[in-house]
């Protein structure tokens, strides 16, 4: 997962949705904190939405 920052935003988004769908909320929270620590500005929107309460994809 250390290479996620090198992936296109669309891929990061899909990975985040996969994490949300398959892992526990605690794991999502941990990933959230880890992603925030990388300061991924392009994906802050998605990270924030996931951290805020697991949004449904439209």
Q: Is the pLDDT of residue 58 over 50?
A: no
Q: What tokens does 28 get?
A: 């999502």
Contact criterion met (CB below 8 Å) for 18 and 46: no
CA distance 25 to 27: 5
Nearest one of 10, 7, 2, 49 to 28, comparing CA atoms: 49
Would you state the pLDDT for residue 8? 66
Helix axes 9-22, 25-38, angle to 10 degrees: 160
Instruction: Tell me the pLDDT tens digit for each residue of 37-55.
Output: 665 555 666 666 666 665 4
| 2-33 pLDDT, tens digit each | 444 555 677 677 676 666 555 555 566 677 67
Tracing tokens 């892992």 back to the chain, one arrives at 23
pLDDT at 33: 73
């Amino acid at each position: 997962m250390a290479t996620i920052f090198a992936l296109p935003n669309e891929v990061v988004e899909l990975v985040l949705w996969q994490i949300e769908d398959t892992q526990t909320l605690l794991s999502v929270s941990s990933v959230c904190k880890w992603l925030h620590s990388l300061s991924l500005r392009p994906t802050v929107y998605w990270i924030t939405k996931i951290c805020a309460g697991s949004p449904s994809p439209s």
